[in-house]
Structure formats: structure tokens, C-alpha cells
């Protein structure tokens, strides 16, 4: 089945929605059962990494196919030049990738390509709020100077150590009222000072 413009955006949006769901799930169930939620998050991050690799491969093939279409169609070449001028904030590669369609060069598809490119231009000039991770509320300003939450999550070894550390800390409060989050923030900062310095 060919990857149409609609499929392209659906893939990107589904990936974003899945990430948002994951972050929401972890954050909304912050206390109790912190250990189980963190273990789940760790493995889900690995799964997301594999999904992203697959999507990247699909998009790269889509770009190559789009280049072929543009080379063979004068109408598509003219449209590409027009869109590059009208959408200066959109990377050329992303505009080119929009041309992958069995009906490229027809008025109906060209309209869809134009609309998609203009939508990308709007998004580029009106950035959304920075995406938060479930770790953001545990990081103090001091902790962020050591490492950012996203950088920590990318370091699989350190991230696993971090989860184990927080899980053991949480176990101390089993069957008790959850402690003030400030306690966790102080412990997180102390952990990062000790562990990141050694790396």
C-alpha cells in the first residue's frame, strides 16, 4: 500500500499521541506503585526507539520516491519551487516528501500538497509548547544543570540505575502516605550529582 500524505501525517501524529499517552500514564499514576510504573516506562522507551527507527526508514524511502516523481514531472518541479518560496521555514526535504503519491501532478493531489506544506509552515512559525517528560516535576534547577530529563532517558544504563534508585526510595513509603515531592527532588539531585559526575 503506498504511503500517501494522509498516511504520512497519521504516522507522525500516532507516534506523538502514543508518546503523550505514555507520559500521561506515568505522570497521572505517580504515586503509589512508583516502581512498577518506572519499569513500564523504561521498557516502553525501548519500544518507542524501535518504532521511531522504523518510521524513519519509511520516511526516508518516501523522500527518495518523491524525488523520482519530481524529476519526472515538470508540474511537480514547478510546484516544489513555488512551495520553497511560500514556505521558507519548512526544510526542503520535508516539502519534497509530500510529493509521494500515485496521482502526483493532478490538481486534486497538488492542492493537498500545497495545504500540507502551508500547514507545516504554520507549525514551524508557531511552535507548540515544549513537550514535558514524566521526569520534569522531579528535576530541580540544580539537577537540570547536571543533565536534562530527556538526556537522562536516552542514557539507558543511567536511566535504569535512576529507576532502581527511585524505586528503592519509594519502597520506604509502602503502606504509608506519599511523602512530599520535595523529598524526591532532593534525592534526585543528590543521585545525579553522584552518578553523572562519575561518567
Task: Give per-residue pLDDT as tens, 91-131.
Answer: 999 999 888 864 555 556 778 888 889 999 998 898 777 77
pLDDT exceeds 60 at position 144: yes
Structural domain that includes position 62: 5-125
In this structure, the answer to whether residues 181 and 83 fall within a common structural domain is no
For 175, left (φ over 0), alpha (ψ -120 to 50), or beta?
Answer: left
Is-above-0.85 flag for pTM?
Answer: no
Q: Are 34 and 179 in contact (CB under 8 A)?
A: no
Residue 17 is predicted with a pLDDT of 55
Mean pLDDT of 163-190: 81
pLDDT bracket for residue 199 (50, 70, 90): very low
In this structure, the answer to whether residues 65 and 114 fall within a common structural domain is yes
Last residue of a domain, one of 125, 145, 172: 125
In this structure, the answer to whether residues 117 and 140 fall within a common structural domain is no
pLDDT exceeds 90 at position 88: yes
Q: Return the percentage of the chain with pLDDT > 90, whole number.
A: 17
- Contacting residues for 191 by C-beta, under 8 A, at least 6 apart: 162, 165
Q: Which long-range CB contacts under 8 A does 53-59 form with residues at least 24 apart?
A: 55/11, 55/12, 55/15, 58/3, 58/11, 59/8, 59/97
Prior bond to 32 cis, omega within 30? yes
In this structure, the answer to whether residues 17 and 102 fall within a common structural domain is yes
- Number of domains into which the chain is organized: 2
Residue 85 is predicted with a pLDDT of 95
- Buried b / exposed e over 144-181, threshold 16 CB at 10 Å, is eebbebeebbeeeebbeebbebbeebbeeeeeeeeeee
Amino acid at each position: 500500500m503506498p504511503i500517501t500524505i494522509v498516511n504520512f501525517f497519521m504516522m507522525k501524529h500516532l507516534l506523538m499521541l502514543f508518546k503523550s499517552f505514555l507520559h500521561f500514564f506515568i505522570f497521572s499514576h505517580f504515586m503509589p506503585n512508583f516502581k512498577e510504573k518506572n519499569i513500564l516506562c523504561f521498557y516502553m522507551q525501548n519500544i518507542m526507539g524501535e518504532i521511531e527507527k522504523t518510521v524513519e526508514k519509511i520516511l526516508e524511502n518516501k523522500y527518495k520516491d518523491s524525488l523520482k516523481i519530481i524529476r519526472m514531472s515538470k508540474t511537480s518541479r514547478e510546484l516544489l519551487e513555488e512551495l520553497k518560496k511560500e514556505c521558507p521555514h519548512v526544510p526542503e526535504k520535508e516539502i519534497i516528501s509530500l510529493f509521494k503519491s500515485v496521482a502526483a501532478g493532478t490538481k486534486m493531489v497538488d492542492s493537498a500538497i500545497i495545504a500540507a506544506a502551508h500547514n507545516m509552515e504554520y507549525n514551524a512559525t508557531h511552535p507548540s509548547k515544549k513537550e514535558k517528560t514524566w521526569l520534569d516535576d522531579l528535576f530541580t534547577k540544580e539537577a537540570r544543570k547536571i543533565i536534562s530529563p530527556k538526556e537522562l532517558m536516552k542514557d539507558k544504563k543511567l536511566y535504569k540505575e535512576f529507576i532502581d534508585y527511585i524505586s528503592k526510595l519509594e519502597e520506604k513509603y509502602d503502606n504509608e502516605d506519599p511523602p512530599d515531592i520535595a523529598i524526591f527532588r532532593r534525592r534526585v539531585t543528590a543521585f545525579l550529582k553522584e552518578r553523572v559526575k562519575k561518567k
